[in-house]
Amino acid sequence: MCPKYNEKAAEKGAYVIGSCGFDSIPADMGVLYTRDKLKGTLTAVESFLKVKSGPEGSCAHDGTWKSAVYGLADQDNLRKLRKKIGYAPVPVVGAKLKSRGLVFYNQEFKEYSIRFMGSDGSVVKRSQCYLHTELQETPVQYSAYANIGGLGSVIKLMFAGILFLLLVKFSFGRKLLSKELSYPEFFSAGFFTKKGPTQTQMDGTSFTMTFFGEGYSEGQDPQYGKPNVKICTEVKGPEPGYVATPIAMVQAAVSLLEDAACLPKRGGVYSPGAAFSKTKLIDRLNKRGVEFSVISKPEL
């Protein structure tokens, strides 16, 4: 969308803003919220997503499943496209954020976590790139993870993940996963179905995204020494795919209309954080059930 429409949108004064659903409003705006609530300079953030379901469990429609199938199958083209766009590398300010690996035991939550495979990381990076390049703001390093529970969940997820990755590499495998021979329930252990979730399942499902940020106190140069302040914030809301996503999309649209003076001066193709960093989007979301809050502000 960016190479195809960015210049045309700029000429017309139009704003094309993608990723305005659950991926990636909570993550992108959550990083900006964390930055604004820290007294000092935020330099790194880790987020941990937890989805809770009710007695009837939760599931998703196989449209989301197909998106994952084609998204993973097209990874090589995506890398080439990003190189073609030519985003400038975002400089690392402060202590470098270390990757925690694909799977690890999370001491903060006392359960296992995995790297979040959605688009949050790349969307946040795009926003930080824009804010640094265009507004000279200090860029924030970011890593996204998801909490999955105990060891049994890890084993089941690893088995399904390996099978999934093997199948998406081949056309026959992609047919098994997504087209006329589609068996999403079998290959996803029942999580993705052709019918999608029931109303009862949606009513019983919610999400929490916890952000751990670190940085430097006011007056301290982030280029020297170790981080000396940290902050914990949270974004929580209803079922992410079918309830939180339309809330986020509608409020993004309202902000686009009512906060026009706070948008980037030039039209174009933007990520949510780039477009809405100066708007009242977070306030609007807070009033409609997608809530941003500060959990703690202890010093390191």
Per-residue model confidence as pLDDT tens digits over 74-103: 777 888 887 877 777 789 999 999 999 889
**How does the average pLDDT of the chain come out, rounded?**
89
pLDDT of residue 187: 64
**Residue 300 confidence class, pLDDT cut points 50, 70, 90:** very low
Q: Which of 181-195, 215-229, 271-285 tops mean pLDDT? A: 271-285
Q: Take residue 24 and report the two structure tokens written for it.
A: 């990636």
Q: Nearest to residue 282, comparing CAs of 31, 17, 51?
A: 31
pLDDT of residue 181: 46
**Residue 276 confidence class, pLDDT cut points 50, 70, 90:** very high
More confident residue, 71 or 231: 231
pLDDT of residue 189: 65
Contacts of 217 (CB under 8 A, 6+ apart): 39, 40, 228, 229
Contacts of 102 (CB under 8 A, 6+ apart): 114, 115
Q: Nearest to residue 145, comparing CAs of 232, 26, 47?
A: 47
Q: What is the mean pLDDT of residues 262-284?
A: 97
Q: What is the mean pLDDT of residues 15-33?
A: 97
**Residue 183 confidence class, pLDDT cut points 50, 70, 90:** low
184: pLDDT strictly greater than 70: no
Range of lowest pLDDT (218-227, 238-247, 258-267): 218-227
